[in-house]
Chain A
Amino acid sequence: MTRIQLAATERSPEVDFDLAAGRLSLRGESYPEDAAAFYGPLLQALRGLLADPGQAPLTVEVGLAYFNSSSAKALMNLFMPLEDAAAAGRPVTIRWLYADGDDTIAEAGEDFAADFEHATFELVMEAQV
């Protein structure tokens, strides 16, 4: 499996994990009834990718307008192995996208940023179209 693509639903984000290219992306809103069930396969795919010895750069884009606490926890679980990989020398960039003026999401991004030492965590403001 080199690419996981899921369309956005009312309660779950659009997922595009292009594992071969090292580009992972989450966009939309995230409050699935069972966050563990939704994020479990994604976490596994990410772990599988990181288990490969390659040192190819990895970029993760997260642009969520809303996520509930279960999803926050799931994101945390996604971020931890990324930070570990970065600590091991792999170039990892996390781009946290937030809409212009959306302080809540920006602050959440800042909270997450505090957990990263080795990976690059970018807070990216997107002008709303």
Chain B
Amino acid sequence: MSLAETPAPAARRGGLRGSGPMRREDMLDHLGFADVAESGADASGIMAPGALRGAARGRDLDSLTRTLFLRIYPVIAAVVLLTQAGIAWVNYTDQFRLYTDRANLLASLSAAAIARPGWERAPEIFGPQLQALTRDPAFRYAALRDGTGTLVGSAGEPPHGRDWNRVQVSAQVGTAPDTATTQAGSLTVVLSAEELRDNAERQALLALGTSLVLMLAFVATLTRTVRRHVVAPLKRLLVAMRKVEHKHWTTVDLGGAYRPSNEIDAISQAFNSMVEGLRSGDEAKRLLQALEQAHAELARANSQVIESIGYARRIQASVLPERGALAARVDLAVLYEPLHLVGGDYYWLEEVDGLSVIVVADCTGHGVPGAFLTLIVATALDRLLHERGLRSPAAILAGLDAMVRTQLRQDGRGAESDDGLDCGICVWDPAERSLLFAGAGLSLTAIRDGTVAQIRGGRRGLGYPRTGREALPEADTRVPVEPGTTFYLMTDGVTDQMGGPMSGQAGGQAGGASGGRPRLLGQRGVAERLLARAADGLDAQLAGLEQDLAAYRGGQPRRDDMTLVAFRLPELPA
């Protein structure tokens, strides 16, 4: 049982020094809780040898019992005493009246017996009568007087002073004689009322004794009852409350005997359900806190990653060319949208030896891994163009393939990387008016006069461990340069837009297909949208395309990085 764990009362009570704020133990002690034994041993505790000693020290008599005793007992005692006193008084007065009546009777009988002519002078007449009176146990004194008031005879001791313990009556002796000179005598009888007083005193003592016995019985019953039914359960509650205060979710054991009529049982049960509520509330709060903490950590980690990638974006941006690098020779616009700040898409624009070189590459993956690959490609391209002086698109592709493979150790030295890139390269020679193209997994799209033409590159990308099936384009494709043609090099992120049927924009292309499954926009979808804006300037065209793509996606997220380079070659001077 939980009470057994309660420490012994602190030895700290009432010291002269160090009487700081009262501690909980002191308070318990103070309230009379400290020495209460567990309820089961309570009854026997009263009977135990030490119990009385404890009670004598006033430690067992808890303050609640004391309070109840002091409040209730005086009332009961007063009522008992008053009732007894009242009864005694009524008894006393009744007795007193009876005594008086008896005295009167005695006096009148004796007076009648005495009243014979000449009784005043005949002691033989009144002597026996007076003697007879003395036989009454309560008799104290009798005095016989003649008509003139002279004492004729007496019996017993005359009483002194005024004593309330006696009954004094007088009776006329004989009738008044005819002659006016003689008067009737009188007989005065005094009886003792001491017996009455003794009786009353006995009764008072009895009342006092009764109230003492009552008090003892009351104290014993009260102590025992209060302890068993009030103090012990309250202490259990208090102990449980202290534990709950320290978040030990303890309930009070009702001993399986819950009585709805018992207020303390009702309180205990309410307490138990409150503890349950607090426990689950605390649990929820703890979980929420853990969740918030985890969330905060995630947010911190995420912002760190974003910050880091933001930095990476600056680095990647610095290896991309100036968009106006070819402005003097070619009308050109660029759409470059990495999916996650940085990406695997890459483009290069450069004027070399009078040739305009346009490169678009799509490395495997996106985000940071893709961006790593673009750096390799950028370095390789720079070396191919400037160290090895390559000018043929197909040769540059072959060079890129070899260099990337070497860099990524895909050349048979236990390749861990299965990465590579799609790449399309255009080289414009304004002097010859020749446009050469070579692609690996990437096509050149040409739009002119409302028609779309695709100059497909090789199907295989660059890089990747060799499988023996690679077929890189062996020669450049010479692309006819007709006036009014717009060329587009784009990565598959542009064409691979999931969305469609639900957005309504691609209804014509969907061929009457219904249903909500998202579908790829595809090369043709992009070409259609470019065609619709063929008359626009290149920048406006690309901005419009971007809006079209967003509209096509609808609620679908983008899947990949997007890069599109559009260019128009200058007309021949007329």
Contact = CB atoms under 8 A, between A and B. Distances in A.
Interface of A: 29, 31, 33, 35-36, 65-66, 68-70, 73-74, 76-77, 80, 99-105, 107, 111, 114-115, 127-129
Given A65-B517, A101-B512, 6 more contacts: A33-B367, A66-B518, A73-B464, A101-B511, A107-B522, A111-B459
Contact of B495 (A99, A102, A104): A104
A35 B498 CA distance: 19
A99 B519 contact: yes
B138 to A, nearest CB: 119
A73 B519 contact: no
A63 to B, nearest CB: 11
Question: Which secondary structure dominates where chain B touches chain A?
Answer: loop
Interface of B: 362, 364-365, 367, 418-420, 422, 441, 459, 461, 464, 467, 469, 492, 495-496, 498, 509-515, 517-524, 559-560
Nearest to A76: B467
B364 A103 contact: no
Contacts, number: 77
Contacts of A31: 559-560
Nearest to A112: B459
B464 A128 contact: no
B517 A128 contact: yes
A104 B520 contact: yes
A77 B464 CA distance: 11
A40 to B, nearest CB: 9
A59 to B, nearest CB: 23
Given A70-B365, A101-B513, A65 B518 contact: yes
A65 B559 contact: no
B554 to A, nearest CB: 15
A-B pairs, top 4 by smallest CB distance, nearest first, are: A104-B522, A101-B511, A104-B520, A128-B515
B560 A104 contact: no
A3 B69 CA distance: 84
Contacts of B517: 65, 99, 128
Given A65-B517, A68-B559, A70-B364, A29 B498 contact: yes
A103 B492 contact: no
Contacts of B512: 101
Contacts of B513: 99-101, 127-128
